[in-house]
Structure 1
C-alpha cells in the first residue's frame, strides 16, 4: 500500500498546479515534491500529472482518483478534529485567525497574558487578509467580522458593529460647497454605494482600499469619504479624521467568535475562547459606536 503522504502531495499539486506552490504550502522543498510524485507514478505505472504552460494538470488517471483522495483528506481532517475536541490538556497548538485591527486594538495584551498563564499552549496567529478554512484545520478558532458565519461552525455573535461616514476637514469643505465628493471604497464595491447616493448629489471613486487601517489613513490624507466600522476611527481618535453627522442604519455585520463543532470540548480552545469573549464583550460600546476607549486595549 502506498503512503498517504504521497497522495497528500499529489492532491496539493493538483490543487495549486505548481510544484513550487505545493512545496511552500507543505513546508518541504521542490525536489521532495518532484521525487514523491515520480515515485507514486512509477509504483502504479501511470502518469498522474502533465505539465502545461499554465502549470500541472491532471491526466485521465489523475482525474479518476482525485475525488477519492479529497474524501480521504476530509476524513483524516475530521478524525484530527474529533481527537482535538476530546483533548482535555491545556497544552498544544491553537491556530487562531482574526482581522489584524481586532488583534492590534483589543486582544494583543490579553492574549499575551494568556500565553504567560498557559506556557504549554502555542498560539499560531494569522491576521492577513482572507479567511482561513476552519473545516480543513487551517484555523481552530476565528474572530470574524461577518453578517452570517458558515453553518458548519459554532460560536456566538459578540456584538453587532456600527458604521459611520468619515472624512477630513478638506473633504468636509468639499461636501459643504456642493462639489463632487471623492469616495474611498472597498475593492468589491463596483457601483456607487447606497450611502453615497443617499447623501451626496455627485460622487466619484478616488481610491479602492482593501485594508481598514489603510482606509483610515486614506481618509486622514484627504483622499475622500469612507464608510468605516466605528470601532477603528473612534479608537484611534485622530483629529484629522472627522465623523460626519450623517446617521447610518444598524449594520447586519457583527463580530463572531467561531470554531468547528468538533472542537467545542477541547480544553485549550475553551480557555482561549473565554479570554477572547471577555475582552471583546468589555468593548461592545466601542463596536456599537457609543463610547470611546474602554479598557484592556493594546495601544
Structure 2
C-alpha cells in the first residue's frame, strides 16, 4: 500500500460529512467525477471499501469512519497550530479581525476604533458585521464584541456591561398617567418589534409573549430599522438604551427592564490572547467601553 496524502483524508471526510459525492464535490470545489474517480483509487489502494453505496447516500464503513475521524483530528491539530502561530507576534502590528453587530458598530464602536487606530497605526482592523455568532475557534474572527448570556466556555474575555433595553415611543407620545400606574396598559397601544430573524433577542420574545399579534404594526429584521419605526410613530417598541437615549425624538415609557438585559462581552480564543495585536486591541476597547457603561446600561 502506497502512502496516503492529506488530500485523500480530506476527500473521505468530505464524503462522510456530506453523505454523498455531490455535497463533497461542492465542499472541495471540484467536480463530481473527480470525487468519484479519486474515491475509487483510494479504495483500490487500501484494499478496503470505505463507503456503502445506498439509495439514500454514502454511508462510511468502519474503515471509512476511522479515516474520517482521523481527518477531523488532523484538521483540528492544523487549525490549533495556526492559532498558536498567530499568537506569537513580536510586536503590536498586523491585522485584527473583529466581529460585532451593526448596532454596536455604528452607535458605539466606530469612534473607539478610530481612536485605537490613532494609538496603534500598525494594526489594521477587519470588521465583520454579523448578527450570527462567528466561530472564534476556527479563526472566523480574532475578537468578538457581542451581546450574550453564554459566551462559550472555550473563549476568554470579560463582561463589560449590561446591555439594557427599554420600551420607547416617539417624543410626542409619552406614557399616560394610567400607563405609569399600570404598565400593562401599554399592551393596548400599537407596537413594533423585531422580526423572526432576531426572534431570539429577549425583547422580541417579550413582545411576542405579551402583545396581541393584531397590535403589532411592523416587524423589522434590523434594530436600526426598528428604531426608525418607533421614531416615525408607527408604534412603540423595545430598543437598546445606548441607541434610543441619544435620540431626542424618542422617549422612554418604562425604565430598563431586567428581563431584556444581556451581557456585553469582548472575547477571543485562548491560543491568540497573548498576541500583542490582540492584547492591545482588547485592552484598549475594553477600557473605552467601560467608560461608556452608563450609556450601555441606560443609567445616564
> TM-score normalised by the shorter chain: which range applies?
0.7 to 0.9
- Select the structure that is richer in helix: 2
Residues 168 and 227 of structure 1, relative CA distance in 2, 3 Å threshold: same
Q: How large is the Cα RMSD of the aligned pairs?
A: 3.9
The equivalences for 1:2-151 within 5 A come to 2-5=4-7, 7-8=9-10, 11=13, 18=23, 22=27, 30=29, 32=30, 37=35, 40-45=38-43, 58-60=58-60, 63-115=65-117, 117-151=119-153
Asked if 1:219 corresponds to 2:230, the answer is yes
CA distance in 2, matches of 1:222, 1:124: 36
Residues 279 and 189 of structure 1, relative CA distance in 2, 3 Å threshold: closer
CA distance in 2, matches of 1:87, 1:146: 29
How many angstroms does 1:186 deviate by?
Answer: 4.9
The number of aligned residues is 278
SS at match of 1:277: helix
Contact 2:13–2:68, Cα closer than 8 Å, also in 1: yes
CA distance in 1, matches of 2:12, 2:173: 54
SS at match of 2:108: helix
Residues 190 and 204 of structure 1, relative CA distance in 2, 3 Å threshold: farther
Deviates more, 1:68-77 or 1:138-147: 68-77
How many angstroms does 1:139 deviate by?
Answer: 1.4
Q: Tell me the equivalent position of 1:294.
A: none
1:209 to 199, 220, 234: 220
Contact 1:182–1:203, Cα closer than 8 Å, also in 2: no
Superposition TM-score, scaled by structure 2 size: 0.74
* Unpaired runs of at least 5, structure 1: 24-29, 292-299
CA distance in 2, matches of 1:20, 1:223: 49
Q: Tell me the equivalent position of 2:292.
A: 283
SS at match of 1:139: coil
SS at match of 1:135: helix
Residues 286 and 20 of structure 1, relative CA distance in 2, 3 Å threshold: farther
Residues 159 and 52 of structure 1, relative CA distance in 2, 3 Å threshold: farther
SS at match of 1:151: coil
Contact 1:181–1:224, Cα closer than 8 Å, also in 2: yes
How many angstroms does 1:267 deviate by?
Answer: 0.7
CA distance in 2, matches of 1:148, 1:114: 27
Residues 36 and 230 of structure 1, relative CA distance in 2, 3 Å threshold: farther
* Unpaired runs of at least 5, structure 2: 44-48, 180-184
Contact 1:92–1:121, Cα closer than 8 Å, also in 2: yes
Residues 208 and 124 of structure 1, relative CA distance in 2, 3 Å threshold: same
Residues 60 and 226 of structure 1, relative CA distance in 2, 3 Å threshold: same
CA distance in 2, matches of 1:79, 1:194: 44
Superposition TM-score, scaled by structure 1 size: 0.74
Choose 1 or 2 for highest CA Rg: 2
Residues 5 and 139 of structure 1, relative CA distance in 2, 3 Å threshold: farther
Q: Tell me the equivalent position of 2:46.
A: none
